[in-house]
Amino acid sequence: MKLTVLGATGGVGRQVVRQALDAGHQVTAVVRDPDRFLLSHPALEVVTADVTDSLALRPAVAGRDAVLSGLGPRGRKAAGISSRGTRSALQALAETGGRRIVVVSAAPVGPMPEGESLLYRAVASPLLRRLLREVYADLAAMEAELARSDADWTVVRPPRLTDRPGTGRYRTALGANVRHGRSIARADVAHLMLAALDDPATVRQAVGVAY
């Protein structure tokens, strides 16, 4: 496939790029600062563009089979990039005839799974939502943009992200969060995002993922 990766310098985005190349895909990595992206590969094209500018994104998404987005803020003050970048990507896709987009969100944006402990429901989850409320509001706005669009979207909702090696073994929940799911490696989030491209059951669905 010909794939475009947004947020390619981020933790999830880098993993998507590496795994896509290892799988034999042609990859266009969209970055804001090319000096931060040191990966080189014959099947890799690096494009410098502002992801919030749909006009700038058009050449990067035109003729591609799918867009995968690892966009996310680096800190609460940067919240807003997920919704703005996704809005631009959707517009660029619509203007160039594309449809497929897979994005990373977060488990707290989705529903609370049944069977969670009282401590988690009453203390841990509310505290996390308060601490990162700007980030989760941005991700919720991003998901709303996708739901209003005509695109064939998939939202992946992981819990706490780690930099441990990927395993390829994790639990998923279609339209829900994973019960007692507390963490997952960025490498396995990327693995699921790429796997979703060939899974029609994930189209216009949110997918919870965790160990």
- pLDDT tier for residue 78 given thresholds of 50, 70 and 90: low
**Tell me, what's the pLDDT at 112?**
85
pLDDT surpasses 60 at 180:
yes
Partners of 87 in the β-ladder: none
Residue ranges of domains in the chain, CATH in brackets: 2-210 (3.40.50.720)
Task: Look at residue 15 and give its three-state secondary structure.
Answer: helix
pTM to 2 decimal places: 0.93
Short-list 209, 159, 189, CA closest to 19: 189
Contact between residue 62 and residue 68 where contact means Cβ atoms under 8 Å apart: no
| Distances 126 to 3, 38, 109 between C-alpha atoms, Å | 37, 39, 12
Partners of 160 in the β-ladder: 183
Look up residue 1 and give its two tokens.
């496939």
pLDDT tens by residue, 122-158: 777 877 887 888 999 999 999 999 999 999 999 999 9
Look up residue 61 and give its two tokens.
């998404």
Share of the chain above pLDDT 90, in %: 81
